[in-house]
Amino acid sequence: MAKIAMKNAVAELDGDEMTRVLWGVIKEKLLVPFVDLKVEYYDLGLKARDDSDDAVTYASAEAIKRLGVGVKCATITSNQARVEEYGLKGLTPSPNGIIRAELDGTVFRKPIIVGNIRPTVSCWKKPLVLGRHAYGDVYKNCEMSVGGPGKAELVFTAKDGTVTRKTIMEMKGPGVLQGIHNLDASIESFARACFYYGLSEKMDVWFASKDTISKTYDGRFKEIFQRVYDAEYKTRFAEAGIEYFYTLIDDVVARVMKHEGGFLWACKNYDGDVMSDMVASASGSLAMMTSVLVSPDGIFEYEAAHGTVQRHYYKYLKGEKTSTNPVALIFAWTGALAKRAELDGTADLADFARRLERATLDTIESGVMTGDLAQIADPPAREILDSWQFIDRIAARL
């Protein structure tokens, strides 16, 4: 069989631990036999990031921007234990944080739905997509611990030297302080990315913050969303028969639990961090959740929503064939290849991506799955396989 050709390359970002192991198997069994893969490869394994002082991470972000499409394996965000485990020079920043900042993107997370895995929230009938602003707030904070009483102030020095100050608190004793920020430009990109996504997927867009309490900070988010919507999307949304809805974050949380899904939930950075894990877990499994980072200028980076599955990796190192679920990693690849095909106008590559997704879902729906899904499948699994056997079955079906 002649392999499917690719016109342009995608940036491939390899990662760590169990996901790195599966990444290799997926390429070997599901991609290379069918597609003449064109990639620019970057090793984002922890040691390689540390050795290059993160030069490789910045180079990979540059490649995603240049090529327009990237696919990323899960990576370790280092902590002290990892410094010892890998013999690192020091703590390295989160590679996802670096790439998100470079692309100024919004992360969209969407559950992968199969008929025999039901969400734990029984009213969810359609995928609930979560859009997470990936810039600023507590992820780019400045914190301070203070040892005793004193006056805490917020000070802004404008370019022309004008100083604005406000008292945060007359501290009566020791405590902690935190400064956070966001930028109008980034909030606008976030709003645009969400409305654009809603329109392209024909989904209502819900956005929530806490503007009743945070009148200036969260109030700005609310204002900008409304302004971008009124100026650029209101008419197009009406034509598409979809709506934009703003409410308070606690109100959305309550409504989501009673709703059938099928809308985009736009979240500020922290809300998105927390709520995406809730949505993933309640949708069935963390391993059935895709994640795509979309920049305002239309650059796409696809990945799995889960981490490197460290616990499974240690079993693998002891020689065990683990039953780690590779579905979100497979969908990261199909997402990237389908986007590449769309940009390049290569119909056979688009068709391949679609068939690989179908083969994966059909395998699960036939009752053949990994252990994580077997715990929640209804009807129960017919066969529970390790990752290698499961990937082989998908390959056979493909």
C-alpha distance from residue 234 to each of 183, 190, 217, 231, 334 (Å): 23, 16, 24, 7, 32
- Shortest gap between Cβ of 274 and Mg ion (angstroms)? 6
DSSP 93-105: --HHHHHHHHHT-
Pick what 310 binds: ligand NAP, Mg ion, none; C-beta below 5 to 8 Å, kind-dependent: ligand NAP
Q: Within a 10 A sphere around the Cβ of 168, how many other Cβ atoms?
A: 13
Q: Is the dihedral of CA 266, 271, 273, 277 positive or negative?
A: negative
Pick what 97 binds: Mg ion, ligand NAP, none; C-beta below 5 to 8 Å, kind-dependent: none
Which residues make Cβ contacts (< 8 Å) with residue 311, sequence separation at least 6?
none
Q: Which of residues 106-125 bind ligand NAP (CB under 6 A)?
A: none
Pick what 74 binds: ligand NAP, Mg ion, none; C-beta below 5 to 8 Å, kind-dependent: ligand NAP
In single-letter form, the type of residue at position 397 comes to R
27, 48, 77, 388: residue in contact with ligand NAP (rule CB under 6 A): 77
**Interface map 231-270 toward ligand NAP (x if CB under 6 A):** ----------------------------------------
Q: Which of residues 297-316 bind ligand NAP (CB under 6 A)?
A: 303, 306-311
Beta strands in 44-162 (DSSP E): 69-72, 106-111, 129-133, 142-146, 150-157
Decide: is 375 part of the binding site for ligand NAP (CB under 6 A).
no
- Shortest gap between Cβ of 293 and ligand NAP (angstroms)? 10
Pick what 273 binds: ligand NAP, Mg ion, none; C-beta below 5 to 8 Å, kind-dependent: Mg ion
Pick what 290 binds: ligand NAP, Mg ion, none; C-beta below 5 to 8 Å, kind-dependent: none
Which residues make Cβ contacts (< 8 Å) with residue 149, sequence separation at least 6?
170, 171, 172, 173
Decide: is 60 part of the binding site for ligand NAP (CB under 6 A).
no
In single-letter form, the type of residue at position 199 comes to L
Phi, psi of 293, rounded to the nearest 5 degrees: -95, 120
- Shortest gap between Cβ of 99 and ligand NAP (angstroms)? 10
Decide: is 362 part of the binding site for Mg ion (CB under 5 A).
no
Q: Which of residues 93-112 bind Mg ion (CB under 5 A)?
A: none
Nearer Cβ to ligand NAP, position 99 or 224? 99
Closest among 24, 3, 38, 14 to 337, alpha carbons compared: 38
201, 273, 342, 392: residue in contact with Mg ion (rule CB under 5 A): 273
Nearer Cβ to Mg ion, position 49 or 109? 109
Name the residue with the smallest CB distance to ligand NAP: 307
Give first-to-last CA distance, the chain, whole Å: 13
Nearer Cβ to Mg ion, position 55 or 278? 278
From CA 351, how far away is CA 353, in angstroms rounded? 5
The count of C-alpha atoms lying within 13 angstroms of the C-alpha of 364, restricted to the half-sphere facing its C-beta, is: 27
- Shortest gap between Cβ of 308 and Mg ion (angstroms)? 14
Query: What does the chain come to in residues?
Result: 398
**Interface map 275-304 toward Mg ion (x if CB under 5 A):** --x---------------------------
Pick what 165 binds: Mg ion, ligand NAP, none; C-beta below 5 to 8 Å, kind-dependent: none
Which residue is listed with tokens 């391993």? 287
101, 266, 286, 330: residue in contact with ligand NAP (rule CB under 6 A): 286
Pick what 187 binds: Mg ion, ligand NAP, none; C-beta below 5 to 8 Å, kind-dependent: none
Q: Are the C-beta atoms of residues 384 and 374 closer than 8 Å to each other?
A: yes
Grouping H, G, I as helix, E, B as strand and the rest as coil, residue 116 is: coil
Nearer Cβ to ligand NAP, position 299 or 374? 374
Stretch that binds ligand NAP, among 70-78, 157-165, 292-300, 338-346 (CB under 6 A): 70-78
Q: Are the C-beta atoms of residues 260 and 204 closer than 8 Å to each other?
A: no
Q: Are the C-beta atoms of residues 185 and 218 closer than 8 Å to each other?
A: no
Q: Which residues bind Mg ion (CB under 5 A)?
A: 273, 277
Interface residues with ligand NAP (CB under 6 A) are 74-77, 96, 286-287, 303, 306-311, 324-325, 372
